[in-house]
Amino acid sequence: MPVDGSDVKITFDHDLRFASASELFPRRPVFVATRPRFVVMEIKTKQAQPHWLHRIVCQFELPSVPNSKFATGIERTQHSITFR
């Protein structure tokens, strides 16, 4: 648990790729990159955003963008299904 007692979880995702397959572990999956050379910083909290985090987000004008890796994977591999 962080020193301030918050429940903040921060992860960095990069080189996200998805593959279409008819089985769980295909032998030769063909991966599709979503955004090459992009890094996504994901911030999760169960409670309200801590003050220190709010200040950092404001100071650096970080955009808040809803994102679902699962939904993006489906959209990129199953072209007949969209989540909009």
**37-66: pLDDT as tens digits:** 888 888 888 888 888 888 998 999 988 887
Q: What percent of the chain has pLDDT over 90?
A: 7
For residue 53, the model assigns a pLDDT of: 85
Higher per-residue confidence, 61 vs 34: 61
For residues 40 and 67, the answer to whether their CB atoms sit within 8 Å is yes
Distance separating alpha carbons of residues 44 and 62, to the nearest angstrom: 15
Q: Please tell me the pTM assigned to this model.
A: 0.56
For residues 30 and 20, the answer to whether their CB atoms sit within 8 Å is yes
Q: What is the mean pLDDT of the chain?
A: 80
